[in-house]
Amino acid sequence: MYALKSWIKMGLLLLAAVMTISSIAPGIVWAESNDKIRKIEQYVKNQQSISKIPGISVVIVEKGETVYQKGFGYANVETKTPVTSETLFELGSTTKAFTGLAILQLEKEGLLHRTDDVQKYIPWLELTYHGEPQKITINELLHHTSGIPSNTITRIPESKADNALELTVKTLQGQTLNRKPGVPLNTQR
């Protein structure tokens, strides 16, 4: 649990750093501003020290172009493996906020509805409750009321493959739901 909290804290720090950095100097040409780069790097190092984060990677994208990327600290403190701009980090639950925002943007554009059945987009995903096929909505996934057991997180494969997300969802195939979709975890039906 401590490791998960550290990862969440790191993800939130990264988000805060990116937001702070983007508000400090919007529209600058990063490569031409060594002074601003030094300030950004000092800010990251200070936040890393304050929050006791062993390693962090920062990427700044402006108008779709990567204008800065650098690793700070260690990916593995014991082996002194440094963080690079290519180091992969487990983001854990911090991705939920981004997913929710993306869903709302897609809904605003009329490309989906939160009340849509997930099988509209993933037709092969069939889940059952007490042997009966169930419809699960996007909203139920967002609100953690889908009935998918929380212990399924242990079956997420570690992968760098292009289809890693699909492989993760495929681990749910054959999984029995632990409650009827739409019912909160602590509610009996």
Cα distances (angstroms) measured from residue 120 to each of 34, 112, 125, 141: 50, 10, 10, 14
Under 8 Å between Cβ of 104 and 129: no
Q: Which residue has the tokens 């929050």?
A: 51
Task: State residue 188's pLDDT score.
Answer: 52
DSSP-derived pairing of the beta strands 55-62 and 65-76: antiparallel
Alpha-carbon span 79 to 136, nearest angstrom:
44
- What pLDDT does residue 187 have? 61
List Cα–Cα distances, 155 to 13, 140, 159, 160, 189, in angstroms. Answer: 27, 21, 12, 16, 27
DSSP, res 55: E
Question: Which of 67, 23, 29, 62 minimizes the C-alpha distance to 43?
Answer: 23
Please give the pLDDT value at position 178: 93
Q: How far apart are CA 73 and CA 68, in angstroms?
A: 17
pLDDT of residue 36: 87
pLDDT tens for the chain, 189 residues long, are: 444 444 444 444 444 444 444 444 444 444 457 888 899 999 999 999 999 999 999 888 889 999 889 999 999 999 999 998 888 887 777 888 999 999 999 999 999 999 999 999 999 999 999 999 999 999 999 999 999 998 888 888 888 889 988 998 999 988 899 999 998 877 654
